Structure formats: structure tokens, C-alpha cells
Amino acid sequence: MSQYQPFGLLAGRLLLAYIFVVSGYGKIAGFAGTAKYMASKGMPLVEPLLVAAIIIELVGGLMLAVGFKARLAAWAIFLFLIPVTVIFHPAWADPAQVIAFNKNLAIMGGMLFVAFMGPGRLSLDKA
């Protein structure tokens, strides 16, 4: 293990968490608009699912950032991204979604790394 590995793992977690913390906060700030967008995609139970998405993104992102139950947070975000990617970024149906689809696949890969390898020494879990 390199002397820099703990810092690399911390930086990786922070970069992965960033997009979810910002997105979760944005969903709170734009709750009505996000709910309308979700409804336009045929989502049922829009408001409860939107609240769940906010919790997963904001709380899961913060847990990932500080390394508290980071493996659990990574699994939750990974599983959350499966339907999100299929419903909101269907690259096979909309070529404009290819970048977002591929970005989500890459983030899912990062979440699997955290889920299987742990958050590293510079975390509340200290794994």
C-alpha cells in the first residue's frame, strides 16, 4: 500500500459524493420542477419517490464523503442508479442521453469499488 493511498481513496470518495450531494440539494430546491419532470417520464408515486431520491443522494452522498457506513451508502447509490439510468437516461432510445448513461455506468463502477474495497483509513469507518 502506497503512503498516498489513503489520500487517493478520500479524494475518490469526495469526488463520487459531490455529484450526489449537489443533486440531492438541487432536488430540494427545485422539488416541484423535479416532480413534474419525473411525472413526465411516467413515474408513479412521484412525491414519495422524489423524497427517497433526495435521501439517497443527499444522505448517501454525505455518508460516502465522510466515510460513515460508506459501503452501505455505496450499495444504496449503486442500486438507486440502476432504475435512474434506465428511466431517465435511456441511451438506446435517445442518443442525446449517451453521455449521461455512460457517466452513470462509470459512477456505478466507482460505487462498486467503495462497496467492495471500503472507504479507506481516512474515514469515520477507518476500514
**126 within a domain of the structure (yes/no):** no
Q: Is the pLDDT of residue 69 over 80?
A: yes
Report the C-alpha gap between 117 and 26 in whole angstroms.
30
In the chain, the number of structural domains is: 1
The string of pLDDT tens digits covering residues 35-54 is 999 999 999 999 999 999 99
**107 within a domain of the structure (yes/no):** yes
Cell numbers given for 67 = 466515510
In the chain, the percentage of residues whose pLDDT exceeds 70 is 98
Mean pLDDT of the region 22-27: 97
Give the DSSP letter of residue 91: T
**56 within a domain of the structure (yes/no):** yes
Mean pLDDT of the region 58-86: 97
More confident residue, 107 or 2: 107
**122 within a domain of the structure (yes/no):** no
Domain, as residue range, for 49 = 5-117
CA atoms within 13 A on the CB side of 77: 36
Q: Is the pLDDT of residue 126 over 80?
A: no
103: Cβ–Cβ under 8 A, 6 or more apart, which residues?
Answer: none
Name the pTM for this structure.
0.93
| Residue 77: band (very low, low, confident or very high) from pLDDT cuts 50, 70, 90 | very high
In the chain, the percentage of residues whose pLDDT exceeds 90 is 94
